[in-house]
A and B are shown apart, each in its own frame.
Chain A
Amino acid sequence: VKSQTRVSIQPRWLHGSVMLMCILALIATACGGAPTSSGGGLNTGSSGKSANEIKIGVLATLAGPFAVDGQDALRGVKMAIAEFGGKVAGKTITMVSESSDGTPAVARDAARKLIQQDNADLMVGPLSGDEGLAVRDYAKTQPGKVFLNGSSGAQDTTLRNPAPNFFRFSTDGTQWMAGLGTYAYQTQGHRRIAVLAEDYSFPYSQVGGFMTEFCKAGGHVVKKFWVPIGTTDYSSVVSSIPTDIDAIYVDLGGADSIDFLKQYVQFGGQAKLIGGTVTVDQTVLSTKGTLSQRVLGVASAGPIADSNPDPAWQQFVHTYKTMFPDGLASPSLFAFTYYVNAKAALLALKQINGDLSNGEAKLRETLSTLQFNTPTGPVKLDHNRQAIANNFVTVVEKKADGTLYNKLAQVVSNVNQTLGVPEAQYLQMGEFSRDNPSCP
């Protein structure tokens, strides 16, 4: 037994495998080319670029649960580049994109590829909250490059421990709730509500933003239910919702939201619903079936409103539909936020005449003070390089043809990251979590 079995582990394949490893290593290094020069990634071989070119790296989720959103995000960047005719200060703008699947580790690797291998001059992205924290940490290791957010909305990306070269011209998950707590208390007259949300950072930010206003107005959140992402059975949640409440604030995304709404109808739930930014978005509203009666009148809030009558928004929607006939019925918030961040970069590049010398110092300086009008109104940055912009409270309505949409109910102007609370006081409230804030 011994001598025979031994053969199978002897270097019979070693020659071949050693050869193969050598070949692969050679290929790898051939692609790698020359070492990075001291200037910080001037040329690493495979993707050289001319002096008359500025390269924007875009990081979006083209795989995984947010793949559709990632596609729309790329459309947003393309719109911004097209608006400038593909050129800024005589230099051609090229776009190189990388994909992640929504996990922080993959997002970080993709960002590293864009900056260190593809030689992007600046980067726009990522799409989801936890990815944002990972890219922010990576940005700290690349001080000579400028990073702009995509649509990721975790508040701490810019509020706590920010990176000096990470700019967010889009508002965060907490800001997206501005106006909703007050609307629910004052306009809809809700006093006692329950909360149902997915158990991770983005809903923490959203619930925190909603409750900051709602509790301050005098409302009570009597019970919170936190469910894992991907929960399909809500029967235990529905059966334990208290009966003496006015409404349930629901912050679930995509399929989770649809599953809950269906079951809530089936179980004969009576309480009114309030939605988070993605709970009743277009992907949920376009679902076939018996949802429509249930979601009519559901209030929610976010950085865009489908029916915003502002000519700037209408123009944006028109351009989107013309450029992308195969796109969504209306640009999603991902297309919008990526558009805004990319446009900020291009505007700043134009102001500085495309001068990226000295570790992009001029670009950082210009971005910090940049103010411009987006399709939803003016935007400017605070001292943490976080956007101050408008937010929209919306209500689900039905069009004449029977399709559902989010009707603009209220505009909240110039929402800052701490929702009007002085920053020191806001920071003292601590990070939003399952138990914070609380007003039973």
Chain B
Amino acid sequence: MSAARTTRLIALIVLAGLLLTFPLFASEFFVVQIGIQSLFLGLVALSLIFLAGYGGLVSLAQVALYGSAGYTLAILTVTYGLPWFVGVGAGLLASTLLAAIFALVSVRTQGIYFLMITLAEAMLVFYFAEQNRSLTNGHTGINGIQPPTVGALVMSDPTTFYYITLLVAVLVYLGMRYMMGSPFGLAFQGIRDNAQRMQSLGFNIFAHRVAAFTLAGLIAGIGGILGVWYNGAISPGSIDLTRTIDLLIIAVLGGLVSLEGAFVGALFFTLITNFASSFTDRFNTVIGLAFLLVALFFPDGLIGLSRKTAQLVTRTVPRRKGGLEASQSPSNLPNAAIHPKGTSSDSRNVGKQFLTTSVNPEEKEERQ
């Protein structure tokens, strides 16, 4: 276990180092278009994964909530010329309140019905932006939104903006991890696994779901503020059905089973959308195929894939070298990944069941 902790620590330090030094060795294009974009898209995807993976609520309204914060910021700062912090505050408030209203309408439903209602909510926001010309400037949208300058912090500078986005993303991620371990987070997951049992234990299912959806609205709104600063503009095209589906793709690519999957999915998505077109004209086919492959073979997304790879590595290495030696070697990073197996109680995911059943027989062999 201590070896596992060490490897985990090393991996974390390497990752933190990479993220922190990224602007020092990567070109501006990579910092802006891959780095910043992955981070703010990851934040919005995080809000979806939180709802879908931990609450069983697959929401299609997250991009619309992202847009509601973005539009509020754009309207207040550009149209009315108010200071940026008023726009940010009002934007976050707008997405949070709108999420609460959406939740009141939708969370009593489940499965496909929840999906359809949140889709309707998303389209409501889209058409409002498209057709309420006096407020949102219709199809053209609002241009010329500048990231603010706070004291010595010039946020329109790509490197500064990258670090601010990174800081926000890390804080939100850590906050959400902490929240998932809190009584509220645990109750939320309990409701996903067995709503009736949780109700009979005295939990208010409706209230928990509304609260979670509202929180997800706030997170999507944070992504929206950063996204609008990144694009310098917002138009209905930023929150249309294509963008809604893109976010679902990001979440599924990353894996609906863990919060960090949001950022992995977003990074993978931005890389593939930016670079598939360099190799082929049929880049949309490439994106579609990648999505199909992940959905078919790795239902837990890239996170699930990496976990599976980790298991394969740890199961082959000890055989060659002997288990003890390998587990002490710090180069054998994913070694500990198999430890918690069998203690998992969740049955929400076919993929996970598939994994456990396919791995177990071999493990028994090893034990014999």
| Known interface pairs A5-B189, A130-B141; A25-B238 also in contact (CB < 8 Å) | no
Report the Cα distance A113→B268, complex, angstroms: 17
Q: State whether the Cβ of A273 lies closer than 8 Å to any Cβ in chain B.
A: no
For the complex, give the distance between the alpha carbons of A289 and B268 in Å.
Answer: 46
Query: B297 to nearest A CB, angstroms?
Result: 16
B80 interface residue per 8 A CB criterion: no
CB <8 Å contact, B345 and A4: yes
Q: Are A15 and B138 in contact (CB under 8 A)?
A: no
CB-based contact B143/A137 at 8 Å: yes
B261-A17 in contact (CB<8A): yes
CB-CB under 8 A from B189, the residues of chain A are 5, 8-9
Q: Mark B15-26, 1 if CB is under 8 A from A, else 0.
A: 100110010111
**Interface-facing stretch out of A99-107, A263-271, A406-414:** A99-107
Question: Which chain B residues border A46 with CB–CB below 8 Å?
Answer: 278
Q: A399 near B: Cβ within 8 Å? A: no
Q: In the complex, what residues of A have CB within 8 A of residue B37's CB?
A: 109
By a CB distance below 8 angstroms, the chain A residues around B346 are: 5, 7-8
Report Cα–Cα, A323/B247, bound state, in Å.
Answer: 40
Q: Are B277 and A98 neighbours in the complex by a CB distance under 8 Å?
A: yes
**Contact string against B for A residues 20-49, beta-carbon threshold 8 Å, 1 for contact and 0 otherwise:** 111011111101111110000000111100
A229 in contact (CB, < 8 A): yes
Do B264 and A21 touch across chains, with their CB atoms under 8 A apart?
yes
Q: Are A19 and B11 in contact (CB under 8 A)?
A: yes
Q: Is A63 an interface residue (CB 8 A)?
A: yes
If A63-B284, A201-B140 touch, whether A130 touches B27 (CB-CB below 8 Å) is no
CA distance A229 to B130 in the complex (A): 9
Is the Cβ of B186 less than 8 Å from the Cβ of A32?
Answer: no
Interface check A288, CB cutoff 8 A: no
| Residues of chain B with a CB closer than 8 A to A87's CB | none
Query: Which residues of B, 243-279, contact A by the 8 Å Cβ criterion?
Result: 255, 257-258, 260-261, 263-264, 267-268, 271, 274-275, 277-278
A35 contacts B19, CB within 8 Å? no
Decide if A378 is an interface residue (CB 8 Å cutoff). Answer: no
B235 touches A104 (CB 8 A): yes
The answer, yes or no, to whether B340 is at the interface (CB within 8 Å) is yes
B264 to A24, Cβ gap below 8 A? Answer: yes
Segment of B86-94, B213-221, B303-311 engaged in the interface with chain A: B303-311
Contact with A along B169-210 (1 / 0, CB 8 A): 000000001001100011001100100000000000000000
Mask, B307-350, CB within 8 Å of A = 1, is 11110000000000000000000000111110010011110000
Q: Within 8 Å CB of B193, what residues of A? A: 5
Does B281 touch A at the CB level, under 8 Å?
A: yes
Q: Is the CB of A36 within 8 A of B235?
A: no
Looking at A5, A7, A101, A229, the one whose CB has the most chain B CB atoms below 10 A away is A5
Given contacts A28-B267, A33-B27, A199-B133, contact A7 B345 (CB under 8 A): yes
CA distance A402 to B123 in the complex (A): 43
Complex CA gap A228/B306 in Å reads: 46
CB distance from B126 to the nearest CB of A (A): 11
Chain B residues, CB < 8 A from A200: 138-140
- Let me know if B83 is at the binding interface, CB within 8 A: no
Contact between chains at A117 and B15 (CB < 8 Å): no
Give the Cβ gap from B7 to chain A, nearest Cβ, in Å.
Answer: 7
Task: Report the minimum CB–CB distance from A372 to chain B (whole Å).
Answer: 31
Q: What residue of chain A has the Cβ atom nearest to residue B5's Cβ? A: A11
Contacts of B127 in A (CB 8 A): 228
Could you tell me the distance between the alpha carbons of A28 and B309 in the complex, rounded to whole angstroms? 20
Which of B4, B267, B333 touches A19 (beta carbons < 8 Å)? B333
Contacts A8-B345, A201-B140 given; indicate if A105 touches B27 (C-beta within 8 A).
Answer: no
Question: Which residues of chain A are within 8 angstroms of B139 by Cβ–Cβ distance?
Answer: 130, 199-201, 229
Q: What is the chain B residue whose CB lies nearest that of A113?
A: B274
Q: CB distance B264 to A29 under 8 Å?
A: no
The winner among A31, A98, A101 for most chain B CB atoms within 10 A is A31
Contact between A112 and B29, CB atoms less than 8 A apart: yes
With contacts A24-B264, A113-B29 taken as known, whether A18 is within 8 angstroms of B12 at the C-beta atoms is: yes
Q: Which residues of B contact A105 (CB under 8 A)?
A: 231, 233, 235, 237-238
In the complex, the chain A residue whose C-beta lies closest to that of B338 is A12
B270 to chain A, nearest CB (A): 9
Residues of A within 8 A of B336 (CB): 15
Chain A residue numbers with a CB within 8 Å of B34 are 28, 32
A311 contacts B by Cβ under 8 Å: no
Tell me which residues across on chain B come within 8 A of A28, comparing CB atoms.
Answer: 26, 30, 34, 267, 271
Cα distance, A133 to B275, chains bound together (Å): 25
Asked if A134 contacts B143 (CB within 8 A), the reply is yes
Cβ–Cβ contact A10 & B340, under 8 A: yes
Interface residues of A (CB under 8 A from B): 1-2, 4-22, 24-29, 31-36, 44-47, 62-64, 98-99, 101-106, 108-109, 112-113, 116-118, 130, 133-134, 137, 199-201, 228-229, 434
Which residues of B approach A to under 8 Å, CB–CB? 4, 7-8, 11-12, 14-15, 18-19, 22, 24-30, 32-34, 37, 54, 127, 130-131, 133, 138-141, 143-144, 177, 180-181, 185-186, 189-190, 193, 231-233, 235, 237-238, 240, 242, 255, 257-258, 260-261, 263-264, 267-268, 271, 274-275, 277-278, 281, 283-284, 302-310, 333-337, 340, 343-346
8 residue pairs bridging A and B, Cβ less than 8 Å apart: A5-B193, A15-B11, A18-B8, A19-B333, A21-B267, A104-B237, A117-B274, A201-B139
Given contacts A7-B344, A32-B27, 4 further A-B contacts (CB under 8 A): A12-B340, A13-B337, A17-B306, A32-B26
